[in-house]
């Protein structure tokens, strides 16, 4: 197992927080917080609400921070009131998009099948995907974490070829750890990220599995990031709450160096 075969990615998921002017300010604060520090050891992404994209792209232009969105629709265009297409995001200067976040699955009826459709649309538009998978608390207690996460991964990647895998990051986010302050232990995070890597090896090849970035997400913060990121199968983080505080986000970025 060799971590150097893949890139480390630290991504913030701002969720439904920040207006455009606040987004501009937060990107500025993040850039100030990381300035003068080494950032070459990881890629830095901020996934922001749709209405903040323009301000965030402008504020991050020419910097180390890349901008992502938090979802996209699977159709190119059409009668889908309230939705945004992958092409629209690309046209706004977005590089990344989160797909299949558990909050989308929980509150907005997202299924493994629609996640797969969205992944395909995003890749076709030339976006990089942060694909989220993770088990509920009762699923962990029932001892079916491996089955759930494997199934979610397999369905989400249906019809995705080996070449496209270089534009996919997988984020393991145990639902019970999101926004709860309850972090998975390093061993739990490493174990499930390893299970996901084995699924990728079975679908594609060991080479693809070793090259795929697999993040952990769920109450990652300035205090626990270093330990989580030291695990062999954990190649970065998808960070909610702590990504809204520039200083904390910068500490996590530092921990990834």
Question: Which lies closer to ligand 13P via its Cβ, residue 224 or residue 233?
Answer: 224
Site string for ligand 13P, 208-247 (x = CB under 6 A): ---------xxxx-----------------xxxxx-----
Least separation in angstroms between CB 238 and ligand 13P: 4
- The answer to whether residue 173 is catalytic is yes
How many whole angstroms separate alpha carbon 22 and alpha carbon 18?
A: 5
**How many Cα atoms are found within 13 Å in the side-chain-facing hemisphere of 168?**
31
* 10 makes contact with ligand 13P (CB under 6 A): no
* 104 makes contact with ligand 13P (CB under 6 A): no
Question: Which lies closer to ligand 13P via its Cβ, residue 126 or residue 179?
Answer: 179
How many whole angstroms separate alpha carbon 19 and alpha carbon 31?
A: 18
How many whole angstroms separate alpha carbon 152 and alpha carbon 236?
A: 20
* 178 makes contact with ligand 13P (CB under 6 A): yes
**Cα separation values, 47 from 2, 57, 244, Å:** 28, 11, 11
Question: Which lies closer to ligand 13P via its Cβ, residue 10 or residue 57?
Answer: 10
* 184 makes contact with ligand 13P (CB under 6 A): no
The contact set with ligand 13P (CB under 6 A) reads 13, 101, 173, 178-179, 217-220, 238-242
């Amino acid at each position: 197992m060799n971590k150097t075969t893949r890139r480390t990615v630290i991504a913030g998921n701002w969720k439904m927080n920040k207006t455009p002017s606040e987004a501009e300010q937060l990107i500025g604060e993040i850039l100030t917080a990381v300035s003068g520090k080494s950032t070459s050891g990881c890629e830095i992404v901020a996934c922001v609400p749709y209405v903040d994209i323009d301000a965030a792209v402008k504020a991050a232009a020419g910097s180390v921070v890349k901008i992502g969105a938090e979802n996209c629709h699977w159709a190119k265009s059409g009668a889908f009131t309230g939705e945004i297409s992958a092409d629209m995001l690309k046209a706004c200067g977005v590089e990344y998009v989160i797909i299949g976040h558990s909050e989308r699955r929980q509150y907005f009826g997202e299924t493994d099948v629609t996640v797969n459709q969205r992944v395909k649309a995003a890749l076709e538009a030339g976006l990089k995907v942060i694909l989220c998978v993770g088990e509920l608390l009762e699923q962990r207690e029932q001892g079916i974490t491996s089955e759930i996460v494997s199934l979610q991964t397999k369905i989400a990647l249906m019809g995705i070829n080996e070449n496209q895998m270089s534009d996919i990051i997988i984020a393991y986010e145990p639902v019970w750890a999101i926004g709860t302050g309850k972090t998975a232990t390093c061993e739990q995070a490493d174990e499930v990220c390893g299970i996901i890597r084995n699924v990728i090896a079975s679908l594609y090849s060991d080479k693809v599995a070793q090259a795929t970035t697999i993040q952990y997400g769920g109450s990652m913060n300035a205090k626990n990031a270093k330990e989580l990121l030291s695990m062999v199968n954990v190649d970065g983080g998808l960070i909610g709450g702590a990504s809204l505080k520039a200083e904390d986000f910068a500490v996590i970025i530092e921990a990834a160096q």
